[in-house]
Structure 1
Amino acid sequence: MSATLDSADRRTLDRGDVKTLLLSALGGALEFYDFVIFVYFAKTIGHLFFPPGTAVWLATLQTFGIFAVAYLARPLGGIVMAHFGDRIGRKRMFTFSVFLMAVPTLLIGVLPTYATLGVFAPILLTLLRVVQGLAIGGEVPGAWVFVAEHVPQRRVGLAVASLSAGLTAGILMGSLLAAWLNASLSEADMLDHGWRIAFILGGAFGFIAVYLRRWLSETPVFARMRERKELAEELPALVVVRDHLPGVLLSMAVTWVLTAAIVVVILTTPTVMQTRFHVEPARAFTGGSIAAFTLCLGCIGGGLLVDWMGTARAMLLSSVGLTLSTYALYIDLQSGGVHLFPLYALAGVFAGVAGIVPAVLVASFPPAIRFSGISVSYNVAYAIAGAATPVLVGYLATTAGGLGPAHYVALVSLVGVGASIYMMVSGRGSLRR
């Protein structure tokens, strides 16, 4: 059997692998669009869901707070879905998470505003974001495990990176739609109905993703464990915390770097451009779209680096690049944003550390508790850093002449450098089938 497995790990990607990667990435893009579209309309939502007369900066900060609430719900959704993913199968949870995302997204699109419901409007909005957080908590770890266990071992870096590229393509979809709506509709139309279009489309996208995933098959790794009766008999999350603490801590550290790349550089910077540096909305969203596109390319590049030079060196290179490119972008914004588009594109490339991090996570846990291991460490780290970061960035943008967000990214990138050195010294980072 070992010879068979070794042979399978040496094979190249076949047609079935490519189909799995494409369908998984497309479904992930549609679901992640549903999760992040909220942040691109933060300014509009802040105006509509809080009392009239609220200062723009305060309404935006409160809206970022509602956006951040979803991160706090991620660990619960991730742990529950991972438990069943490790016990009854990866595919079932992979499909259920999409459905759980589509419903609240559609409901946000038809939700009455403060003018109609008063204080109940932001309360209902917050509850729907919580449900979205539960869904994404199971989706992202499950997706990485699903594709990693379908492909040859020597192509895991490319596989999880292609899935990450698919997820970030959802960000690009949201950014492009936001840019188009802001360019096509007046401010009055955006407040009246324009923002709703994005969420109603998101609900439809989610149900399309549910349909796409019915064509996927269970992972060979899980099928083999079920056949050999090697599934975890204890509570998988308990085994993770008790027996795999080094893997948990390493995974949490690199996840923090991922949050800095995605939440700061990609998701909140377009809003910071408008509120702190007074960049026109259309230009800010166009820059965000360019960065989201280069982020997709950066994720694929990061996965190729993992398969070529290993997770440790790839993580080191991307962490340093993320710091330098973010500083370049924010320093340029300080002086008027003359080189906004090329510098934001460069920052997007190095935010491609998001394509390297999942390879570290997948390699940190054995198959029987892999889904739970990633869910516990990734979602807890994202709940802490992801929930705090949007609000913190909103404040930091008012400090250090607007360079506060870049200082934060630099600090977190140092954690990525430390994690890289640890992997080099300890030898961690190699996938275990």
Structure 2
Amino acid sequence: MSTHDSAHASAPQVGVDATDTRHLRLVIASALLGTTIEWYDFFLYATAASLVFNTLFFPDTDSYVGTMLSLATFAVGFLVRPIGGIVFGHVGDRIGRKRTLAVTMLLMGLATASMAVLPTAAQVGVLAPILLLVLRIVQGFALGGEWAGAVLMAVEHGPRGRTGFFGSIPQIGLPLGLGLGTAVFAVLQTTLDAADFLAWGWRIAFGVSLVLVIVGFVVRLAVEETPSFRAAEAAEVTVRTPITTLLSDRTLRRPTILGLLSRWAEGAAFNTWGVFAITYATGTLGMAKVPVLWAVTLACAVMAAVIPLSGRMADRIPPTWIFASGVALYGVAVFPVFALFSTADIVWFAVGLVIVFGFVHGWFYGAQGTLYALLYPTQVRYTGISFIYNVAGVYASGLTPLILTALIHAGDGSPWRAAAYLAATGAISAVATAFLRPGEPEATLRRPVEHPEPVTVGA
């Protein structure tokens, strides 16, 4: 019997009556709304870094240096995420997923809303970028615990045979959050003149976050704790320090190391097409900002539609196959997509984004949450997938816009060095994913216990 089949066979039947159905709908709404808000907040900063912050907070530099400094503050959010992942992973594995997610949402929302009232460098000098950096650190810290918790709330509530689909729901929040952010900026730049947009218009996008967070917080409080965590807690099989267990137990090292490598392509890809592409198109290629933002928004809409289809497929075939095939395809597609970008034609730019960002990224991203959740037992699952997602986020996500900007600058505007780097990440991640074995026997800790309610995939 294959690993996938054995994991499936070990799962208990989960009945879903009318009451359960209503609660599952609430779980889906909570996961989708929560991650959409969190990613809106986090990547709104990325869009602003390319269009606003380089001018308002780093004004005494040339365009290249100002953009690099602005993107550096963007990268800091990823540097802090592993710390947030360890802290909130510990809390989530010890006291539960529900309360942890409520805290992460409040922190993220307050930090983003505070950016709406930040003074600029023209008003307070060097204090402006310092305050911006502090709030970005809070954002990164909060997001470090958000993604893993949202995925587990969905996967661990998912009925047998539908965990792949449920695990894909929080993933939809990423393209929706980014798409919402780029759409808001596009509308503001269309309705306001350049002077008003830079003076106060961009602040509206950040202020909206406070309203969204209040709604999301109320919904999250209404969701029950996951069955897997409740069962582990009742059986008293939680561990004292999940991060120590994760790093010291040799049976958990292999999936952790391979998971870090498999995540490389996904992080690099998203921050290339969703963040760097805006800077590259409007800066290096000289394309108009608003059409570029709408192109990114269109690609995000396509991705949001593809992700649940990928999740449904992860209930029929191993998620490793979906993820490995997707990151390999991304590595191959990088060169033709940059060739389309190099035309500096908005139509071809949009076509390239829709293909590689909408379809390809949506295909492998939809299976990612379920794939990583299946690597760990309940006691360390929050910490484990937080560790993979956030540590890899430092080199795979946060540094990507800086690396690509530097490579293109070194090549006098040529994108091929950057494309080669991205293709390499696709190859590395495809190989690492092929060696992952999700759903292996759950009794891997030094204090072996049977997984109270194992998550599984399969028809």
Point out the more displaced range, 22-31 or 397-406: 397-406
Deviations 1:366-418, CA, capped at 9 Å, x for gaps? 11110011112221111233232121122123337223433222111112220
User: How do residues 70-219 of structure 1 correspond to structure 2 at under 5 angstroms?
Assistant: 70-219=77-226
* Residue of 350, 355, 373 corresponding to 2:360: 350
User: Partner letter of residue 316 of structure 1?
Assistant: A
Deviations 1:95-152, CA, capped at 9 Å, x for gaps? 1100010111111110000001101110110010000000000001111111111012
What is aligned with 2:5? Answer: none
How far apart in 2 are the matches of 1:215 and 1:4?
A: 30
User: Partner letter of residue 386 of structure 1?
Assistant: S
What is aligned with 1:407? Answer: 420
User: How do residues 46-61 of structure 1 correspond to structure 2 at under 5 angstroms?
Assistant: 46-52=54-60, 54-61=61-68
The answer to whether structure 1 residue 377 and structure 2 residue 392 are counterparts is: no
C-alpha displacement of 1:156: 1.8
User: Partner letter of residue 390 of structure 1?
Assistant: P
* Residue of 337, 350, 356 corresponding to 1:329: 337
Point out the more displaced range, 185-194 or 351-360: 351-360
What is aligned with 1:428? Answer: 438
Deviations 1:287-346, CA, capped at 9 Å, x for gaps? 111111122123223222322221221112211222243333210121233422222111
Q: Is the 2:183–2:294 Cα contact (8 Å) retained in structure 1?
A: yes
How far apart in 1 are the matches of 2:292 and 2:367?
A: 27
C-alpha displacement of 1:10: 9.9
Aligned to 1:308, the other structure's residue is in SS state coil
What is aligned with 1:258? Answer: 266
How far apart in 1 are the matches of 2:194 and 2:276?
A: 20
User: Partner letter of residue 337 of structure 2?
Assistant: L
What is aligned with 1:246? Answer: 254
Aligned to 1:293, the other structure's residue is in SS state helix
1:194–1:358 CA distance, 2 compared to 1 (3 A)? same
How far apart in 2 are the matches of 1:342 and 1:3?
A: 43
Q: Is the 1:34–1:206 Cα contact (8 Å) retained in structure 2?
A: no
1:208–1:405 CA distance, 2 compared to 1 (3 A)? farther
User: Partner letter of residue 411 of structure 1?
Assistant: A
How far apart in 2 are the matches of 1:396 and 1:293?
A: 29
How far apart in 2 are the matches of 1:333 and 1:62?
A: 24
Paired residues, what number?
427
Point out the more displaced range, 56-65 or 293-302: 293-302
The answer to whether structure 1 residue 237 and structure 2 residue 243 are counterparts is: yes
User: Partner letter of residue 241 of structure 1?
Assistant: L
How far apart in 2 are the matches of 1:265 and 1:405?
A: 12
What is aligned with 2:348? Answer: 339
What is aligned with 1:221? Answer: 228
1:231–1:158 CA distance, 2 compared to 1 (3 A)? same
User: Partner letter of residue 171 of structure 2?
Assistant: S
C-alpha displacement of 1:9: 7.8
Relative to the length of structure 1, the TM-score reads 0.93
What is aligned with 1:311? Answer: 319
User: Partner letter of residue 388 of structure 1?
Assistant: L
C-alpha displacement of 1:11: 9.8
How far apart in 1 are the matches of 2:10 and 2:256?
A: 31
User: Partner letter of residue 248 of structure 2?
Assistant: R
Relative to the length of structure 2, the TM-score reads 0.88
C-alpha displacement of 1:430: 6.0
The answer to whether structure 1 residue 27 and structure 2 residue 34 are counterparts is: yes
C-alpha displacement of 1:51: 3.4
How far apart in 2 are the matches of 1:402 and 1:254?
A: 24
1:106–1:345 CA distance, 2 compared to 1 (3 A)? same
Point out the more displaced range, 284-293 or 153-162: 153-162
Aligned to 2:314, the other structure's residue is in SS state helix
How far apart in 1 are the matches of 2:55 and 2:441?
A: 48
| Structure 2 unpaired stretches of 5+ | 1-7, 443-453, 455-459
How far apart in 2 are the matches of 1:116 and 1:77?
A: 32
- The sequence identity of aligned pairs, in percent, is 27
How far apart in 2 are the matches of 1:355 and 1:431?
A: 24
Point out the more displaced range, 2-11 or 414-423: 2-11
| Structure 1 unpaired stretches of 5+ | none
* RMSD of aligned residue pairs (Cα, Å): 2.2
Q: Is the 1:261–1:354 Cα contact (8 Å) retained in structure 2?
A: no
How far apart in 1 are the matches of 2:352 and 2:439?
A: 31
What is aligned with 1:391? Answer: 402
How far apart in 2 are the matches of 1:388 and 1:19?
A: 36
Aligned to 1:401, the other structure's residue is in SS state coil
1:185–1:430 CA distance, 2 compared to 1 (3 A)? farther
Point out the more displaced range, 200-209 or 70-79: 200-209
Aligned to 1:309, the other structure's residue is in SS state coil
How far apart in 1 are the matches of 2:140 and 2:342?
A: 34
User: Partner letter of residue 114 of structure 1?
Assistant: A
C-alpha displacement of 1:212: 1.7
What is aligned with 2:376? Answer: 365
* Residue of 303, 306, 310 corresponding to 1:302: 310
How far apart in 2 are the matches of 1:124 and 1:355?
A: 35
The answer to whether structure 1 residue 39 and structure 2 residue 46 are counterparts is: yes
